[in-house]
Structure 1
Amino acid sequence: MFVTKLIHFTKKLVRIFTRPMRGDRGEGGVIVHPYRGYGSHSEAFIMGRVFRQPGRLAGWKQGGVASDLVDVARRVVRHGVRDARVDIRLGATHATVTTDRDGYFHAHIDITHTLPAEAIWHSVKLQVVSEDDAISTETEIYIPPASTDLIVISDIDDTVMYTGVANKLKMLYRLFMEKADRRTAFPGVAALYRALYGGAEGNRQRPMLYVSRGPWSIYEVLEAFFNLNHIPVGPILFLREWGMTIKRPWPRKAEDHKSDVINNMLSLYDSLPFILIGDSGQRDPEVYTEIVKAHPDRVRAIYIRKVDNDPERDVAIEALANEVRLAGCELILAHDSVSMAEHALSKGYISEESCQAVREDTHEQQRQ
């Protein structure tokens, strides 16, 4: 039984890691991998990476586990293409950026034409030109419709999913060997996020923005996790770069990264209120409290998932709750997804029907 599970896990794991390179048909060369973007009706942000990888050996048969393992090896030795030109078109809007030394590109585009008012995902065409290759591809950016009434920003690690980003093998084991749609996500979290996405009317299509302490290299794994657990998709564009340089020998602190992300979102969507979701295991309560103090009346609620058994930590978070209350916000230390949903229902953020779905999903998963 264990051997069968191990084989199943290995196949799934390999497929995840080889997914972004299947488009090269084994020929190798320059590959472009854009990530899902975000923006408003006046500006948009898009990120991606251009990299070079070797082709398969001549005569190598494509398909099967052996071929996938070869692709894993090709992925390991690939490297970013620096100074590649990336031409970006969003409707009538055009911009050009170049990749950095690791092959990443970051585009901030001023939108010069009117976008469809109620569309939420907009197609973006990219053409990447390097020294010897020209590649065309597409991606999407999320822009809130006019009906949007608030924005949700959520941490991922220990908030949506059990800790694993710091231990990737442990996370992947849970994702593919322990019923991914049940055990990798906290009970009821998928129903809760669907409720927040739809709002009290069920059709709000609110922006769901996700923050992770992990590096960009796990982007595909996080996307698979969201799809497997039926959690509303949104830009997962806020992962840290872990590359080290002489000037910056250590990764940025997670709380600094998160604070910068939220401040940028408050500026981008300056007419909308926010809900912030995190956990008690890290410094989310402290970071969110400082955000509320700096931006009074912009954050409607803070939901903190309790993931520890530390009474002193509970006291500290309660003190923070008193601080944000003075700034017109509520901080809820929640033992489960139901507690968050019931508070959201009491404030009119979600419907009774969707709150009941959270209760049912939570109780069902807790029994398993």
Structure 2
Amino acid sequence: MIKRVLHKIALIAERGFDRVFHRPTSGREIDPYIGYATQQHVIVRGRVLGSLRSYDVADGQSRWGNFRRMLDLFFTNEVADVTVCSDATKAQTDEEGYFTLVLPADEREGWSTEYVHVEGRAEAVPCPVFAPRADARFIVISDIDDTMIETGAYSLLRNLFTTFTGNTKTRHAYTDAISLTTWLSAGGRNPVFYVSSSPWNMHGFLQRVFANTGLIAGPMFLRDLGLSDTQFITEGHGDHKGASIDHILNAYPDLPAILLGDTGQHDAKIYHAAIERHGDRIAAVGLRAPGPGMDAVDLTDLDQLLATKRLAFAAPSFDGFQERLIKARPDLFATPDSTATVR
């Protein structure tokens, strides 16, 4: 009852804000998200906005300048109920401007581009798509904040400060995360997917950070923090992450998965639940223990992970995880390129 009332109040407030600050626009700009291909479909994703935000960073840009740029990412002017298409496949944007085009499967592998037209715009917009290779041995499913990129998500205030005062050139990726995912991907053979509670507004920003730091690119599954008639903003971190993991595993039913996360947001509990649902599909779990490290709850969650008899690695960094993986699952790494050592 309380949640329904808060939902209604928040929805009224958001629509009032939109009437005051969002002016009608004739713009039709596609913010492309990384799509992905399965044996059944090619999934093209994105959002239609009245205008796109810039990720360019001026030399010596101040924290105040970073804050204004980051805040701008969240004050978007969404374009609802317009048609987007790729060849003969069409879709309508929802009330938040999101769209998903489901194309027929083909024989593509690796990175490709789909050109998407949007109603009211003459030029097609390129949207990236990633398709796992036929020789993939496993999937990597990784968190982003405090797993790949230093954020401080274990503390709300630290998380907000880091997020809103940094830019695409100042955000720091862990060198051990870069080395580990580079080795796991094996030159693009094994796909890397990312699940995060960061909002979709951050997708382009995160792509720039990945490109600047050398992190392996891959499709992201982020959260919609917007309001709608049917959705409130209180979808839990665990619910979103668990559902995203399920979706990825169901999309590639023949491949086991290695899960990477951190203890700052209780990923051990989320990944333990994934093991209960998917059993042997989860080959191993690697967890970073950021900031103050693991508390009593984290240690209990880790004990439950260890009780599943899967490899469960937890440490302040991923150093040493590669060796543990090779020893625990030699079947996944019995190829010539897997003998290289992470440096």
Bin the TM-score by the shorter chain: 0.7 to 0.9
**Structure 1 residue corresponding to 2:267, chosen from 284, 288, 304:** 284
Could you tell me how far apart the structure 2 residues matched to 1:172 and 1:197 are? 30
Contact 2:210–2:217 (CA<8 Å) still a contact in 1? yes
2:215 is aligned to 231
**Structure 2 residue corresponding to 1:253, chosen from 236, 240, 245:** 236
Equivalence map 1:27-176=2 (5 Å):
29-53=27-51, 79-89=77-87, 94-111=88-105, 114-116=106-108, 119-130=109-120, 133-163=121-151, 167-171=159-163, 173-175=165-167
Could you tell me how far apart the structure 1 residues matched to 2:224 and 2:75 are? 19
Could you tell me how far apart the structure 2 residues matched to 1:264 and 1:190 are? 25
Q: Does 1:190 align with 2:173?
A: no
Q: How does the TM-score come out when normalised to structure 1?
A: 0.72
Contact 1:278–1:305 (CA<8 Å) still a contact in 2? yes
Report the number of matched residues.
297
Give deviations 1:10-53, integer Å, cap 9, x for gaps.
xxxxxxxxxxxxxxxxx972212221101213212221111224
**Structure 1 residue corresponding to 2:341, chosen from 354, 364, 367:** 354
Give deviations 1:40-94, integer Å, cap 9, x for gaps.
132122211112249xxxxxxxx999xx99x9699776511111111124xxxx4
Give deviations 1:86-137, integer Å, cap 9, x for gaps.
1124xxxx411010112111223332xx424xx311221211114xx44411
Could you tell me how far apart the structure 1 residues matched to 2:146 and 2:95 are? 32
**Structure 2 residue corresponding to 1:216, chosen from 197, 200, 203:** 200
- When Rg is computed on C-alpha atoms for both structures, the one with the higher figure is 1
Could you tell me how far apart the structure 1 residues matched to 2:229 and 2:47 are? 22
Aligned AA for 1:115?
E
Q: Percent identity?
A: 25
Q: 1:334 to 1:269 in 2, by over 3 A?
A: same
Aligned AA for 1:228?
N
Could you tell me how far apart the structure 2 residues matched to 1:251 and 1:311 are? 25
1:270 is aligned to 253
Q: How does the TM-score come out when normalised to structure 2?
A: 0.77
Could you tell me how far apart the structure 1 residues matched to 2:315 and 2:322 are? 10
Could you tell me how far apart the structure 1 residues matched to 2:247 and 2:168 are? 35
Structure 2 unaligned blocks of 5 or more:
1-24, 53-57
Could you tell me how far apart the structure 2 residues matched to 1:292 and 1:76 are? 35
Q: Does 1:312 align with 2:296?
A: yes
Could you tell me how far apart the structure 2 residues matched to 1:104 and 1:160 are? 26
Aligned AA for 1:208?
V
Q: Does 1:321 align with 2:274?
A: no
CA RMSD of aligned residues (A): 3.0
Q: How many angstroms does 1:354 deviate by?
A: 3.2
